[in-house]
Chains A and B, each alone.
Chain A
Amino acid sequence: MQRVAIVGIGWYGFRPQTKEVSFREMMFEAAVRAYQDAGGINPREEVDTFISCQEDFWEGISIADEFAPDPIGGAMRPTMTVDGDGLQCLTHAIMHINSGLSDVTVVEAHGKPSDILTLPDIVDFAMDPLYVRKVSPNYHFIAGLDATLFMKEFSATQEDLATVVVKNKENGLKNPRASYASKLSVSDVLEKPYVVYPLTELDIAPYVDGAINIVLASEEVARRYTDTPIWIEGASFATDSANLETATLGKALYLKIAADNAYKMAKIESPSKEIKGAFIDDRYSYKELQHLEALSLTKDPVKALREGQLYPDGDIPTNPLGGHLAEGVPLEASGLALLIDAIEYLRQGKESAIVASWRGVPTFTGAVTVLKR
Chain B
Amino acid sequence: MDALRYVFKRILLMIPILIGISILTFFISNTIPGDPARLILGPKATPDGIEELREEMGLNDPLYVQYGRYVNGIFHGDLGESTYSQQPVIDDLERYFPATLELTLFAMLITVLIGIPFGVISASKKDKLPDQFTRVFALLGVAMPAFWLGLLFLLLFYLKLGILPGSGRLDNGVSPPDMITGMYTVDALLTGNMVAFKSALIHLILPGITQAAVTIGMITRMTRSSMLEVLQSDYIRTAQAKGGSENRVLYGHALRNGIMPVITLLGMTFGHALGGSVLVESVFSWPGLGKYAVNAITYLDFPAVMGVTLLIALLFITVNLIIDTMYHLIDPRLKYN
A binds B: no
Interface residues of B (CB under 8 A from A): none
Interface residues of A (CB under 8 A from B): none
